[in-house]
Amino acid sequence: MIRVDATSFVPIYEQIKRGIARLAATGRLKSGEPLPSIRDLAAEIIVNPNTVARAYRELEQEGIITTQKGRGSVIAERARTDAERDLKAHLGRVMDEAIAEARKFDLDDPAVRGLVEDRLRKGADRKRGGRHE
């Protein structure tokens, strides 16, 4: 469900948060769907339970999940729309940075568009297992 990269510069609790938010934004985790307990998720991804607890706490503060004593944590009703909005905003910032970087090398719109299309094709090829159809 959630993957973490211990070599990443992104803190593990943040990777957990992003993973859960992404799953909610894409509908793979639905509103009301229970999340694993803190201990279960910590054991599954081999991290300290305090790290998962921090991620859950921050997700609750952001309205992505709700926690009820005795019931555990579930995806909040509005989580998908909020997470989708946040994801789009984040990706927009990443793309803005990439475009700004391309402009430093005097690349025009068609060249930038070509780079994006090339990356999309490569991503599709990787998804298909490297086959070219």
**Domain total in the chain:** 2
Give the largest Cα separation in the chain, rounded: 58
Is position 6 within any domain? no
Per-residue tens of pLDDT for the chain, all 133 residues? 789 999 999 999 999 999 998 898 888 898 889 999 999 999 999 999 999 999 999 999 998 999 988 889 999 987 667 667 777 888 899 999 999 999 999 999 999 999 999 989 888 777 777 554 4
Residues 71 and 89 in one domain: no
Residues 73 and 85 in one domain: no
pLDDT at site 47: 96
Is position 109 within any domain? yes
Residues 66 and 88 in one domain: no
Residues 64 and 95 in one domain: no
Give the list of residues 6+ apart from residue 6 with CB closer than 8 angstroms, or none: 12
Is position 31 within any domain? yes
Residues 89 and 113 in one domain: yes
Q: Amino acid identity, residue 25?
A: A
Of 90, 83, 87, 88, the C-alpha closest to 64 is 83
131 vs 75: CA distance, rounded Å: 37
Is position 1 within any domain? no
Domain that holds residue 97: 81-127
